[in-house]
């Protein structure tokens, strides 16, 4: 079935077939598709293209309908194939055969989502988590011992951090690693059921070892969570003594990965198996660390693992792009219902509602691609050591925490809308949309639950906000308080103190034509972030003086707003990255079309939060009333460019593989059209009952 | 695994365990859970309870991880078991062993979603589509010939309406049934690939016959779409001559059903196989029908099949209720992060954001249950013949078209939020949320694509609106025009002409405390529907005078707004049904809590559309600013009732079957709590590094 979908159809190409004009091609500017592809692929375009070329091999494709065991076996085989083809060493030290190219590593990894998300995530488990823990948390002795075998997949491993009882709150995990100076061993132990390690890829079947996070206890002191290398299975795949586990069984997706549970009954490992870059225990049991603060040490260790979030931001974006490629290509060929104008049935994408469903999501995916490029550059800067400062690290973590939730949620939303826009055909596994949704579902809660990540971003925004006033004198604080009071007043009155913003909007008639300019969009989006943070900060200010329980209640009451402020921050970042990306485009026609697409994003975001802008006096009622109309106009204008814009993702038939996006639908339309035309000209077509004289 | 999940845990019950106070139980009114269950189960509560009792048998449960072939075989076996246990005859005529109870039939059918949605939908294909086509579109000769075997499942069949090329636009299907007076046969034929029947349950494997929809052609005239009984397979399961097909393969869900494609190469069937209730062909080929208008005849035939939509509204509601039962039960036991108050970690449902995620959706599901009860009563009235008028039929179809989209979309939204709220555990198939999402996904596009259905509702609203002015004199029209002009003015100015609405809102301080009263919610919701319809009508008015292509373009530009107006109509209907349902509750405490829940629904809907209310002058900025705060307060107040409210769905462990909602999480929490308490009292607990004196 997939073969048929991929084969270039022997039927007419879209451009020649069914010579019925639709609004598919306009007369205005067209984008330069290859140049846009270059822009979207970004700094590591070469690696992305290598990765895409590799996965044109059907051996890497997700196959539907395999049993759980078959899927797991297939993905393991794919992983070996990937290792043989340079897919596992890009981030690794040159000493062990690696390329030491962190940005390229994630770029290449992200593209695997097009082949099979199970392959992507299982390779992420092996090299991005298990291997990266050894690399980033271990030292040379660990690298020498294991990295080569990790890269070659001689040593498949699990990353044992999450427990059944604790996911996001890693600091509270229950597994203990107690040092025994008698034998110079750590004793890894699971004290209760909630402390079982859970949801771990490679744990149910293939993992021969694991990097286990546990509370390090030595000399009667708990030094907090550290990571240990723990062998799991012997050569026959049997658990070693003291180790047990369970299979997590069928999941909502990613069933090519053998997720499972692990527990440890006083399992002894050598002292040297502590990955000791940030904390070590000497033979006598004394603890040392280059980072004195337990809190900072913990977050430094966890911060090494940010690449998971970075790469999911990219993978989710490319997955959503694939869904739009399929749905928009189909919508450009599929016809349904005639419009009474005597022409053939209408192409789906000519319906206003269909445009509204797909085109704003296309704008969103473009913004994500540009934002991800910035994130990846920042990541590469920090991890290559070029810009490895604590400020840059903190920015990187905040940026990843802001972007990963938005892109992974948007992926699910976009894939689902794409699937619905393809109707029953969209529900068939062969057309890939349902499988993409199943597999990417968990992206929103793993590697940091999206709401928890946004809350982290919100807290960072609050702390940055507070810093403005740190060390300020009384006069400055008084000025701040006055502004705040003014803010409160206009909140109630619906009129903003910054009169000029409302003043420059002009008549609503003109604004429908011109929409909101880029700088106006930027101001509205940025202003909203600032005001929301200031509002939450003001409401949380009493918390410091309250008893802990009341303080917690106050926080809880403001939690949803804080998360919403963080989301607004992420939206602004994506909008700005899109805008900056367009500025780098040389071709004026391309720039013009992409600017419309950016405007569609901006206006869609403003429409989504329109009540906030009205309540907070940022938009007049007149102006607000025009936003939706302008979105409709932008959709209609961009409709002619929709195919170019998805073509610019650069996917080849071997990446798309959905029969409905292969040209088959167009061939069917042409065949039906020709059949009716031939029947008509044969003179043998039945007449419609409706044309008969009415019976009495 | 499921067994363990269902077994009553030997661990403490929620009420006794971990004696840590949360806000789970308040001191105010409590609902009378059994009485609320009665209200939710509605008129056909007895049948629902019978159906629920039957599916406590594990033979009916969805099993995870089966191969496609195994799933299909299992569901076929379940279907036989259902037929043996009275699950197939409720709607059928007494003459053939039926009960002639249409309402009970759908009520019992809907509950099957709890066992396995594949079982539900496959039984719907057999008895609600294939069987119902014979019953509703056929006459006594057809009933005598096939109904007994349909009921007993001796004769499994497919419902062959949709084609690859035409889904929602049934009138345009390509399959032909040409009458041959020589042999007194119809020739069923598929003229091109797009006219293959597609997505048909029972077509890939089990169907022995099909009710095939085709263009009826006799004497050179096409009388439009009619339904024909066509044998498909012999006793050995082989296709009969001239019939071919394909398997649709793996789908996004419902993989217990063998969906497939069918095509016909000049297949001859006896003249009598035309299901001839609404149109017949005599031996000589002359056509007769009790309904002269081809259009009305077509819609009458299709209208017989409304029960699919009615039942999906109910099934989606009970499926969403199950998801909330699982997620809220878990959120009431699961703890994560301490709040710094020295108490144990916080129960998820005590987080403001978690309340915001789950409780408005609980309100929505309650509203759906009450609205569905009204829909089911209307359906039963029409189909029993008690209230079978053309007005009632039209109302029934509009109501079903308004409610089914909302409840099926809400089901996906709610199930997804529930799955995310359960984190990694929610992604495991054993906890059922992912399977529910997979299976219910297609509910939003089958039995009428949701957007197409809402567009139908929108057109009905437009036509009802136009009727107000039909036959009115010039003075009335002038008055109408004046009101319209006034409407336009206030749209721009942001001030409504009905000053009293804004006038009675009082101070925002008071409104935060009191929210919006029920009558205010109703007025806001109802007013929005009216105004949106009037707005679209005004914008479409020029269409009648435009050339067809321009008229179509004008409609397309307003399509999204028309669909939005229909959605607003459905939301109002659900809100009103909830309100009426509460009025029937006798117990004042129950009524009070349910009224809070209804308020939460109303305020959530108003918040969702807040920018509309502001732009259209229905709410002052002051008032609008309080809506979100009031939702937060309502959530906090309802939090104590959340468990009661999901318990009132009346599900037993055999219906829930999710280990995370079985008490296992609470047992784990208790075990961990006891472990740490014992360690602490033993005096051997390690001290935290943080308590040590800071090293220099």
Cβ–Cβ of A688/B194 closer than 8 Å?
no
> Which among A172, A222, A442 is the nearest to B686, CB-wise?
A222
Q: What is the DSSP letter of A335?
A: B
- What sections of A55-116 are H helices per DSSP? 68-84, 102-111
Q: What is the mean pLDDT of residues A531-542?
A: 93
Which tens digit of pLDDT belongs to each residue from B642-682? 999 999 999 999 999 999 999 999 999 999 999 999 999 99
Cβ–Cβ of B552/A339 closer than 8 Å?
yes
Q: Which residues of B touch A279 (CB under 8 A)?
A: none
| pLDDT for the residue numbered B468 | 79
Distance from CA of B438 to the nearest CA of A (A): 8
Q: Which residues of A touch B222 (CB under 8 A)?
A: 686-689
Cβ–Cβ of B194/A669 closer than 8 Å?
yes
Q: Which residues of A touch B341 (CB under 8 A)?
A: 547-549, 551-552
> Which among B435, B614, B687 is the nearest to A220, CB-wise?
B687
Q: Is A694 exposed, middle or buried (0-12, 13-18, 19+ CB in 10 A)?
A: exposed
Q: Which residues of B touch A494 (CB under 8 A)?
A: 620-622
Q: What is the mean pLDDT of residues A57-79?
A: 96
Q: Which residues of B touch A167 (CB under 8 A)?
A: 336, 423-424
A504: how many CB neighbours lie within 10 A of its CB?
9
B181 falls in which pLDDT band (50, 70, 90)? very high
Q: Which residues of B touch A345 (CB under 8 A)?
A: 169, 172
Cβ distance A90 to A151 under 8 Å?
A: no
> Which among A192, A221, A346 is the nearest to B686, CB-wise?
A221
> Which among A68, A449, A492 is the nearest to B508, CB-wise?
A492
> Which among A424, A444, A688 is the nearest to B445, CB-wise?
A424
Nearest to B118 by CA among B180, B162, B70, B165: B70
| pLDDT for the residue numbered B475 | 62
Q: Which helix or strand (DSSP H or E) is residue A363 part of? A: helix A352-384
Cβ–Cβ of A351/B552 closer than 8 Å?
no
Cβ–Cβ of A336/B687 closer than 8 Å?
no
* d(C-alpha A59, C-alpha A78), whole Å: 7
Which tens digit of pLDDT belongs to each residue from A487-536? 433 333 323 333 333 333 444 444 444 568 899 999 999 999 999 999 99
Nearest to A326 by CA among A598, A602, A622, A664: A664
| pLDDT for the residue numbered A342 | 67
Q: Is the pLDDT of residue A481 over 60?
A: no
Considering chain A, what is the average pLDDT of its residues? Answer: 90
Query: In this structure, what is the dihedral angle of CA atoms A426, A427, A428, A429, given to the nearest 10 degrees?
Result: 100
Q: Which residues of B touch A636 (CB under 8 A)?
A: 557
Residue whose entry in the numeric block shows the structure tokens 């403490």: B12
Which tens digit of pLDDT belongs to each residue from A198-208? 999 999 999 99
B356 falls in which pLDDT band (50, 70, 90)? very high
Distance from CA of A662 to the nearest CA of B (A): 15
> Which among B423, B429, B434 is the nearest to A449, CB-wise?
B423
* d(C-alpha B553, C-alpha B558), whole Å: 9
Cβ–Cβ of A337/B165 closer than 8 Å?
no
Phi, psi of B264, deg, nearest 5 = -130, 130
Q: Which helix or strand (DSSP H or E) is residue A395 part of? A: helix A390-421
| pLDDT for the residue numbered B344 | 81
| pLDDT for the residue numbered B544 | 84
Q: Which residues of B touch A508 (CB under 8 A)?
A: 492
| pLDDT for the residue numbered B11 | 36
Q: Which residues of B touch A551 (CB under 8 A)?
A: 340-341
Cβ–Cβ of B671/A192 closer than 8 Å?
yes
Q: Is the pLDDT of residue B281 over 90?
A: yes
* Helical packing angle, A33-41 and A352-384, nearest 10°: 40
Cβ distance B678 to B29 under 8 Å?
A: no
Nearest to A162 by CA among A144, A152, A175: A175
Q: Which residues of B touch A675 (CB under 8 A)?
A: 174, 191-192
Tokens, residue B173:
């299907």
Q: Which residues touch A27 (CB under 8 Å, ≥6 apart)?
A: none
Q: Which residues of A touch B199 (CB under 8 A)?
A: 424, 427
Cβ distance A566 to A458 under 8 Å?
A: yes
* d(C-alpha A116, C-alpha B538), whole Å: 50
* d(C-alpha A379, C-alpha A102), whole Å: 8
* d(C-alpha B448, C-alpha B442), whole Å: 11
| pLDDT for the residue numbered B508 | 44
Which tens digit of pLDDT belongs to each residue from B113-165? 999 999 999 999 999 999 999 999 999 999 999 999 999 999 999 999 999 99
> Which among A169, A615, A667 is the nearest to B621, CB-wise?
A615
Task: For B89-242, list the strands marked E by DSSP.
Answer: 157-160, 176-180, 185-189, 197-200, 209-218, 221-231
Instruction: Choose, out of A161, A290, A610, A621, the residue to mutate when testing the contact with B (most B CBs < 10 Å).
Output: A621
Cβ–Cβ of A427/B441 closer than 8 Å?
yes
- Contact pairs from chain A to chain B, CB under 8 Å: 331
Cβ–Cβ of A686/B221 closer than 8 Å?
yes
Cβ–Cβ of B351/A556 closer than 8 Å?
yes
- As a whole number of Å, the CA-based R_g of chain A is 28
Cβ–Cβ of A494/B675 closer than 8 Å?
no
| pLDDT for the residue numbered A468 | 79
> Which among B162, B221, B249 is the nearest to A687, CB-wise?
B221
A237: how many CB neighbours lie within 10 A of its CB?
11
A411 falls in which pLDDT band (50, 70, 90)? very high
Q: What is the ipTM of this complex?
A: 0.93
- B189: which strand partners? B176
Q: Is the pLDDT of residue B614 over 90?
A: yes
| pLDDT for the residue numbered B490 | 36
Cβ–Cβ of A65/B64 closer than 8 Å?
no
Cβ–Cβ of A249/B1 closer than 8 Å?
yes
What letters, b where the CB count within 10 A reaches 16 and e where it falls short, cover B14-34? eeebbeeebebeeeebbbbbe
Q: Which residues of A touch B446 (CB under 8 A)?
A: 424
> Which among A251, A423, A622 is the nearest to B167, CB-wise?
A423
> Which among A222, A434, A621 is the nearest to B615, CB-wise?
A621
Q: What is the mean pLDDT of residues A579-593?
A: 96
Q: Is B172 exposed, middle or buried (0-12, 13-18, 19+ CB in 10 A)?
A: middle
Cβ–Cβ of A350/B556 closer than 8 Å?
yes
* d(C-alpha B442, C-alpha B631), whole Å: 32
Q: Is A261 exposed, middle or buried (0-12, 13-18, 19+ CB in 10 A)?
A: buried
Cβ–Cβ of A672/B162 closer than 8 Å?
no
Q: 0.95 exceeded by the pTM?
A: no
B580: how many CB neighbours lie within 10 A of its CB?
13
* d(C-alpha A228, C-alpha A216), whole Å: 9
Query: In this structure, what is the dihedral angle of CA atoms B644, B650, B652, B654, given to the nearest 10 degrees?
Result: -130
Which tens digit of pLDDT belongs to each residue from B456-497? 999 999 999 988 777 666 565 555 555 544 443 333 332 333
> Which among A215, A420, A625 is the nearest to B615, CB-wise?
A625
Cβ–Cβ of A250/B343 closer than 8 Å?
no
Residue of B nearest to A162 (CA): B424
* d(C-alpha A509, C-alpha A341), whole Å: 31
* d(C-alpha B299, C-alpha A447), whole Å: 52
């Amino acid at each position: 079935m997939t073969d048929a979908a991929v084969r270039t159809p022997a039927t007419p190409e879209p451009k020649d077939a069914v010579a019925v004009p639709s609004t598919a091609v306009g007369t205005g500017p067209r984008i330069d598709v290859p140049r846009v592809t270059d822009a979207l692929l970004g700094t590591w375009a070469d690696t992305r293209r290598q990765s895409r070329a590799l996965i044109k091999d059907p051996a890497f494709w997700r196959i539907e309908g395999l049993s759980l065991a078959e899927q797991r076996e297939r993905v393991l085989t794919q992983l070996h194939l990937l290792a043989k083809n340079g897919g596992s060493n890009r981030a690794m030290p040159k000493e062990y055969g690696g390329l030491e190219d962190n940005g390229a590593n994630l770029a290449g990894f992200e593209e695997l989502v097009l082949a099979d998300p199970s392959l992507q995530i299982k390779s992420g488990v092996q090299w991005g988590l298990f291997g990266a823990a050894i690399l980033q948390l271990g030292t040379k002795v660990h690298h020498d011992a294991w990295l080569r075998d990790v890269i070659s997949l001689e040593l498949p491993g699990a990353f044992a951090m999450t427990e059944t009882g604790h996911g996001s709150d890693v600091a509270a995990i229950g597994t203990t690693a107690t040092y025994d100076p008698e034998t110079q061993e750590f004793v890894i132990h699971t004290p209760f059921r909630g402390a079982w390690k859970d949801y771990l890829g490679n744990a149910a079947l293939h993992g021969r070892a694991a990097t286990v996070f546990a509370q390090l206890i030595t000399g009667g002191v708990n030094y907090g969570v550290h990571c240990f290398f723990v062998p799991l299975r012997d050569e026959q795949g049997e658990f070693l003594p003291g180790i047990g586990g369970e299979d997590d069984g069928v999941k909502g997706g990613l069933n090519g990965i053998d997720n499972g549970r692990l527990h440890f009954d006083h399992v002894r490992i050598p002292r040297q198996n502590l990955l000791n870059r940030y904390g070590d225990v000497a033979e006598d049991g004394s603890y040392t660390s280059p980072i004195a603060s337990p809190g900072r040490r913990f977050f430094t260790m966890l911060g090494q693992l940010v690449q998971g979030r970075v790469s999911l931001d990219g993978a989710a974006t490319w997955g959503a792009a694939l869904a739009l490629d399929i749905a928009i290509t189909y919508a450009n060929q599929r016809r349904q219902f005639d419009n009474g104008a005597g022409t053939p049935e209408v192409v789906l994408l000519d319906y206003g509602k269909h445009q509204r469903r797909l085109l704003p999501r296309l704008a969103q995916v473009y913004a994500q691609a540009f934002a991800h490029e910035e994130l990846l550059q920042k990541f590469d800067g920090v991890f290559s050591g070029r810009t490895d400062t604590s400020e840059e690290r903190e920015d990187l973590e905040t940026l990843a925490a802001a972007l990963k939730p938005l892109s992974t949620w948007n992926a699910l939303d976009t894939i689902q809308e794409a699937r619905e826009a393809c109707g029953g055909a969209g529900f068939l596994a062969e057309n890939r949309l349902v499988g993409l949704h199943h597999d990417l579902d968990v992206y929103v809660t793993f590697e940091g639950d999206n709401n928890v990540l946004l809350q982290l971003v919100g807290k960072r925004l609050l702390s940055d906000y507070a810093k403005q006033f740190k060390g300020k004198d009384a006069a400055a604080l008084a000025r701040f308080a006055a502004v705040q009071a003014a803010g409160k007043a206009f909140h109630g009155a619906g009129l903003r103190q910054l009169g000029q913003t409302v003043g420059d909007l002009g008549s609503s008639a003109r604004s429908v034509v011109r929409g909101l300019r880029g700088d106006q969009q930027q101001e509205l989006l940025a202003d909203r972030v600032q005001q929301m943070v200031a509002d939450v900060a003001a409401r949380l200010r009493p918390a410091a003086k309250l008893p802990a329980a009341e303080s917690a209640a106050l926080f809880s009451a403001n939690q949803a707003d804080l998360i919403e402020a963080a989301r607004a921050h992420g939206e602004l970042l994506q909008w700005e990255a899109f805008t900056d990306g367009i500025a780098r485009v040389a071709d004026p026609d391309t720039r013009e079309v992409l600017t419309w697409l950016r405007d569609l994003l901006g206006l869609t975001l403003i429409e989504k939060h329109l009540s906030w802008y009205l309540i907070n006096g940022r938009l007049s009622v007149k102006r607000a009333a025009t936003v939706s109309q302008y979105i409709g106009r932008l959709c209609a204008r961009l409709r002619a460019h929709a195919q170019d814009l998805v073509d610019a993702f650069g996917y080849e038939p071997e990446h798309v593989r959905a029969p409905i996006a292969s040209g088959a639908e167009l061939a069917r339309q042409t065949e039906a059209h020709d059949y009716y035309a031939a029947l008509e000209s044969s003179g043998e077509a039945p007449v419609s009952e409706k044309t008969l004289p009415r019976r009495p």
